[in-house]
Structure 1
């Protein structure tokens, strides 16, 4: 049973070992609109992704990303994931879908994600870190994205508020 919610709901954070932790009680309680808003972020940022077992690395497919899996959307960037996003976001889907394993030198990784329901807007706020590889740069940044309903089973992005390098 899903408890009533008020305020901001922290869905993802990093623990002391820098691993992602999910609010396993809250994720199954998200509406499809909320799942779409959260999945939008997971499409563009690594969420502890690895190639699925049995993947031929000569022609890699089947990227298993923790957030996409936790949302019940299957493998990253594959049909189930993309179709869900297209249904909800139409032309607002990200131009590129992140398929970078955690073992890659250069990557962007999610550190924290929260969701807030306002009267007419779903607000997703997240923090991430980008690295350019060994001996390179690393910086943290964050963004807040507002989604509004544009019809039944459809959302549109109404604002994005990025915060640059810190």
Structure 2
């Protein structure tokens, strides 16, 4: 009898061990192996909608570079093809500019995002990229800025204001954008504090930079953009270290009256007219200037500056 009971217990114990072993073996399967089946079918690239994307497989595409976005936990390279855009996580140094035609090699792999390490996801990774065809500037002559007199309902008076070529801005190339942002850095263009001025003067909103999507005057976005484009122009980088924050209404200031831009192959010329004043000394002035740049290998070089002599005039400030 004891022997029978012992054998029964042994059989039950052995069976339980086998079931436990099966359970433990299932638990040893990595989460990503169980999730692959459920999630990879959802992975789609806009220009590859008719095919299934396989985890870990290398793909090659010819695309147009749009921009880098390095503000998040992962660096993103954003590209476009057939009017569709998508982003890839990358970790190498590239000097592509918007409009470059590039060849990319990429794959889909697993990722655990910072702050949520328990969650396993899948996304696109850029493995390598090379430039096939650099951005080609199109010859053009553009009237970028001018002044108009308009009626201001709040002031109930006519005012003279800066007007920008918004249609041109919508399709502007990055080199042209950099040239205009550079000259706008040092000359007033309807600059006003966005609310109350911060103690560090970091919220000055200038019309040209804002229209070019470069943020506040002297912000990191503004200066980093120019430092990239003029990365080998030491004098310009020194100038940027003294980025001014002068709002409209300052006692002494300059402002644009006109800006014209010309593109001829890889040369960008910008000519502008400026007027200024010193309220303390009751003195005004005006001058004209032309600057010429060369766009070469994804950067800009300043070729020359030509400025006319300043023409001064005295004026009287009359009370009401």
Give the TM-score taking structure 2 as reference length. 0.47
Aligned mate of 1:84, from 216, 221, 225: 225
Aligned mate of 2:170, from 28, 35, 43: 28
1:119-149, Cα deviation, whole Å (9 max, x unpaired): 3310011111121115521111111000102
Mapped to 1, the partners of 2:196 and 2:277 lie a distance apart of 28
- 2:182 is the alignment partner of 1:40: yes
Q: Which residue number corresponds to residue 9 of structure 1?
A: 142
1:110 and 1:128 in contact (8 A); partners too: yes
Aligned mate of 1:100, from 223, 226, 246: 246
Q: Which residue number corresponds to residue 144 of structure 1?
A: 290
1:49 and 1:100 in contact (8 A); partners too: yes
Structure exhibiting the larger radius of gyration computed from Cα positions: 2
**Which piece of structure 1 moves more, 6-15 or 156-165?**
6-15
1:36 and 1:84 in contact (8 A); partners too: yes
What SS class does the counterpart of residue 21 from structure 1 fall into? strand
Give the Å deviation of 1:150: 3.4
1:10 and 1:113 in contact (8 A); partners too: yes
What SS class does the counterpart of residue 60 from structure 1 fall into? coil
Structure 1 stretches of 4+ with a deviation exceeding 3 A read none
Mapped to 2, the partners of 1:81 and 1:59 lie a distance apart of 16
Mapped to 2, the partners of 1:132 and 1:54 lie a distance apart of 24
Mapped to 1, the partners of 2:190 and 2:223 lie a distance apart of 19
Q: Which residue number corresponds to residue 68 of structure 1?
A: 209
Mapped to 1, the partners of 2:211 and 2:146 lie a distance apart of 14
Aligned length: 160
Structure richer in helix, relative to its length: 2
Give the Å deviation of 1:54: 4.2
1:46 and 1:98 in contact (8 A); partners too: no
Mapped to 1, the partners of 2:264 and 2:139 lie a distance apart of 10
**Which piece of structure 1 moves more, 134-143 or 71-80?**
134-143
Sort the Cα spacing of 1:120 and 1:53 in 2 relative to 1 into closer, same or farther, 3 A. same
Aligned mate of 2:191, from 34, 37, 49: 49
Give the TM-score taking structure 1 as reference length. 0.89
Kindly indicate whether structure 1 or structure 2 has the higher relative contact order, using CA contacts under 8 Å at least 6 residues apart. 1
Q: Which residue number corresponds to residue 115 of structure 1?
A: 261
Give the Å deviation of 1:59: 4.2
